């Protein structure tokens, strides 16, 4: 992981030196700037499977002290204590932690229904906040979080790590450069083949551990998976969807869950572009992808490949063009029985980076959060990315459950 | 010298236009005109468009004669004439045979009588401006002619716009040198040969080079069985090989490269020898 991050930073430094990044990504400067490593003290709320992964990343960032943690599920509590060490103070009520600890910020990785309350309380306590995605469970909660971030002028990251993924960043840059022309459609999907359940030691813990399956705590595949791709789509299109319509059902995992096991939503944007989204957990052949399409090509952001609609000229033609420019009369090696692939599906695409980077951006995101906290660097744009994704996600969710087209809600802060 | 380069995707392949001495604006106008003309020709001749003239003929000409408009009538007269000129090795009635091989492979045994019987230019009859198929199941495919026909029309557009020098490559298998290289007395084009054999070299001046054979890409699709059917045996020509032919008319170049490859090495040289206007290079393994 450390090697990945070092590779990533090296690659990024080179790209940054070449002016690859747009000015809208100032937070990345924290990754390669020389910093005075004042210790940043953080608390972590929610140390389940995602929380413990974030904790692992944080523990690799120089200059971080995990002073305290909070989890109301005993196995998670014990694991956190083991991971961090006995010097960290453990809590079972996050409010006590906020009251008693002298920390700079918190990382929140709890079920969706708790995001808003915990984030707002932490922001109002003067802390910087990293909150896992999706932002919140209702439109109102998203808005209240945004307002708390603004009135307290505190950092609020929402856990959309693709903002820090080398593949996505390079892909977005290529799109901004015009490599595929105007974006005319985005297709995104996330397919898995499992029941999405975690083992439950006793029936009484079913709703606590498998909270993602119940509407009291979760909005299902939309908030847990689609929110990532919605963030990327909004980022690329530089606008929010104006309406959505969708349909979902439970057609395979009929085990008492309340959230759909397949979701299908179309988002319309003011520019006329559509995002076509689907997710299901009963087939994994097609995996996960964001296909950004334009008249000149397609970029697959999850894998980092660019496919041009029109292939590069044959080498012989390139040679001819060069020779004419140099005033050289040369042989053109251009003949042959069918030079270019006639079947577009044979085009394997061009990998956008110059090396394989496995990181999905989570490690960089945590390093960036720490750096921003250390430097008290509040970036409203970053928060608004989480907000826009949160609202759009909930539009799709509402559309499916109400069986109607849903517009971007009125009366919101954005 | 300013050289405009443009690419057009058509007929399942890419056309490269190298236009020395032509500016961007005139090049863009040319592309627009050429694209429109290519689309028009595809709509007439492509078997991949279910509503093309050829597709309608394929569906209908056995049940009753189909009237041809002047352009299609001229095309079919030319197809029949080239069939004779190439000693029968140019034959556009072999689509059903090739489709059978694609589906069942060439090792599947004897060709079914219905398929074998449907092939042969003798079963295609032109009566005035009408065409009729004498065999049920006969299917026409203008591969081996269509690109040449398109190139002929494209060259008219290019020269009609006053362009005197151009290299036009249609997927590399059809390359036209219009006028000369801006710093030479022709366009020198080479065709690589498999293995360590040196390339075939051709000097083109208002001539088109057509190359037919079993390429790597075709091998991926058709396997070692090849994709060019010999009209005499109704077998495909297997293994690596190619024939390159130059002629002043792109249709002639393409027709002969296809026919001579189908005929095989010995017969190819016999036939080619009858036509001093053609330059021919063959490679068979």
Count of the separate structural domains present in chain A: 1
Domains of chain B, residue spans: 3-44+163-284, 46-133
pLDDT exceeds 70 at position B239: no
Does A245 map to a domain?
no
State the CATH number of the domain containing residue A89.
3.40.50.720
B73 touches B129 (CB < 8 A): yes
Does A182 map to a domain?
no
Instruction: Tell me whether residue A198 is exposed, middle or buried, using C-beta atoms within 10 angstroms of its C-beta: 0 to 12, 13 to 18, 19 or more.
Output: middle
Model confidence over B220-236: pLDDT tens digits? 555 555 677 888 888 87
Model confidence over B203-212: pLDDT tens digits? 999 999 999 9
Instruction: Tell me whether residue B205 is exposed, middle or buried, using C-beta atoms within 10 angstroms of its C-beta: 0 to 12, 13 to 18, 19 or more.
Output: middle
Kindly determine whether residue A324 and residue B12, on different chains, have CB atoms separated by under 8 Å. no
Helix (H) / strand (E) containing A267: strand A262-268
- For B212, nearest residue in chain A (alpha carbons): A337
Does A140 map to a domain?
yes
pLDDT score for A340: 37
| CATH class of the region B46-133 | mainly alpha
Å from B14 to nearest chain A CA?
A: 7
pLDDT score for B95: 87
pLDDT score for B221: 53
> In terms of pTM, does the model score above 0.80?
no
Size of interface A-B (CB pairs under 8 A): 110
Tell which of B3, B14, B218 to mutate to test the A interface (max A CBs under 10 Å).
Answer: B14
Question: Closest Cα to residue B77, out of B135, B127, B39, B123?
Answer: B127
DSSP at B188: E
Tell which of B21, B167, B182 to mutate to test the A interface (max A CBs under 10 Å).
Answer: B167
Does A266 map to a domain?
no
Q: Which stretches of chain A score pLDDT less than 70?
A: 1-35, 338-347
Domain containing A134: what range?
Answer: 2-163+361-389
User: How high is the mean pLDDT of chain A?
Assistant: 90
Model confidence over A328-367: pLDDT tens digits? 999 988 877 753 334 444 567 888 988 777 789 999 999 9
Does A227 map to a domain?
no
Å from B126 to nearest chain A CA?
A: 32
Determine whether domain B3-44+163-284 maps to CATH 3.30.365.10.
no
């Amino acid at each position: 992981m450390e090697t990945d991050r070092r590779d990533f930073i090296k690659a990024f430094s080179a790209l940054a030196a070449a002016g690859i990044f747009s000015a809208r990504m100032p937070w990345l400067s924290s990754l390669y700037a020389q910093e005075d490593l004042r210790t940043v003290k953080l608390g972590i709320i929610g140390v389940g499977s995602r929380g413990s992964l974030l904790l692992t990343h944080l523990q690799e960032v120089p200059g971080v002290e995990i002073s305290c943690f909070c989890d109301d599920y005993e196995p998670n509590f014990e694991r956190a204590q083991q991971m961090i060490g006995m010097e960290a103070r453990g809590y079972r009520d996050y409010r006590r932690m906020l009251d008693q600890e002298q920390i700079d910020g918190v990382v929140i990785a709890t079920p969706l229904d708790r995001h808003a309350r915990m984030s707002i309380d932490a922001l109002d306590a003067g802390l910087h906040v990293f909150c896992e995605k999706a932002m919140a469970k209702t439109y109102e909660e998203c808005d209240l979080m945004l307002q708390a971030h603004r009135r307290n002028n505190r950092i609020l990251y929402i856990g959309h790590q693709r903002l820090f993924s080398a593949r996505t960043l390079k892909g977005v840059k290529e799109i901004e450069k015009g490599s595929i022309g105007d974006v005319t459609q985005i297709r995104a999907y996330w397919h898995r083949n499992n029941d999405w359940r975690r083992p439950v030691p006793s029936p009484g813990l079913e709703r606590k551990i498998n909270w993602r399956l119940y509407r009291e705590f979760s909005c299902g595949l939309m908030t847990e998976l689609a929110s990532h791709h919605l963030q990327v789509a909004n980022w690329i299109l530089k606008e929010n969807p104006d309406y959505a319509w969708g349909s979902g059902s439970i057609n395979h995992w009929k085990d008492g869950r309340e959230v759909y096991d397949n979701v299908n939503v179309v988002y319309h944007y003011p520019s006329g572009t559509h995002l076509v989204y689907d997710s299901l957990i009963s087939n994994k052949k097609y995996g996960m992808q964001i296909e950004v399409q334009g008249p000149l090509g397609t970029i697959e952001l999850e894998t980092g490949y660019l496919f041009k609609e029109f292939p590069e000229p044959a080498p012989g033609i390139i040679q001819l063009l060069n020779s004419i420019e140099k005033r050289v009369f040369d042989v053109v090696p251009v003949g042959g029985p069918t030079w270019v692939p006639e079947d577009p599906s044979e085009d394997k695409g061009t990998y956008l980076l110059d090396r394989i980077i496995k990181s999905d951006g989570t490690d960089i995101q945590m390093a960036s959060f720490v750096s921003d906290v250390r430097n008290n660097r509040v970036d409203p744009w970053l928060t608004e990315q989480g907000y826009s994704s949160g609202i759009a996600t909930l539009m799709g969710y509402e559309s499916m459950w109400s069986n109607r087209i849903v517009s971007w809600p009125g009366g919101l802060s954005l | 010298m300013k050289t405009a380069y443009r690419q057009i995707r058509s007929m399942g392949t890419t056309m490269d236009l190298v236009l020395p001495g032509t500016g961007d604006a005139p090049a863009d106008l040319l592309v627009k005109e050429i694209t429109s003309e290519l689309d028009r020709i595809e709509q007439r001749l492509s078997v991949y468009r279910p509503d093309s003239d050829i597709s309608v003929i394929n569906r209908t000409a056995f049940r009753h004669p189909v009237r041809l408009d002047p352009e299609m009538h001229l095309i079919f007269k030319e197809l029949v004439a080239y069939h004779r000129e190439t000693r029968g090795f140019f034959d556009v009635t072999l689509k059903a045979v090739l489709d059978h091989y694609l589906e069942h492979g060439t090792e599947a045994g004897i060709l079914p009588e219905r398929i074998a019987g449907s092939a042969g230019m003798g079963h295609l009859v032109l009566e005035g401006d009408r065409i009729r198929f004498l065999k049920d199941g006969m299917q026409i495919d203008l591969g081996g002619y269509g690109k040449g026909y398109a190139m002929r029309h494209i060259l008219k557009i290019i020269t009609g716009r006053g362009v005197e020098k151009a290299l036009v490559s249609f997927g590399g298998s059809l390359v036209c040198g219009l006028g000369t290289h801006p710093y030479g007395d022709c366009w020198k084009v080479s065709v690589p040969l498999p293995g360590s054999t040196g390339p075939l070299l051709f000097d083109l001046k208002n001539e088109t080079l057509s190359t037919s054979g079993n390429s790597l890409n075709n091998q991926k699709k058709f396997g070692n069985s090849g994709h060019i059917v010999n009209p005499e045996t109704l077998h495909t020509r297997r293994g690596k090989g190619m024939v390159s032919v130059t002629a002043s008319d792109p249709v002639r170049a393409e027709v002969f490269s296809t026919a001579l490859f189908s005929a095989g090495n010995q017969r190819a040289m016999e036939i080619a020898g009858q036509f001093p206007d053609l330059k021919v290079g063959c490679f068979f393994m």
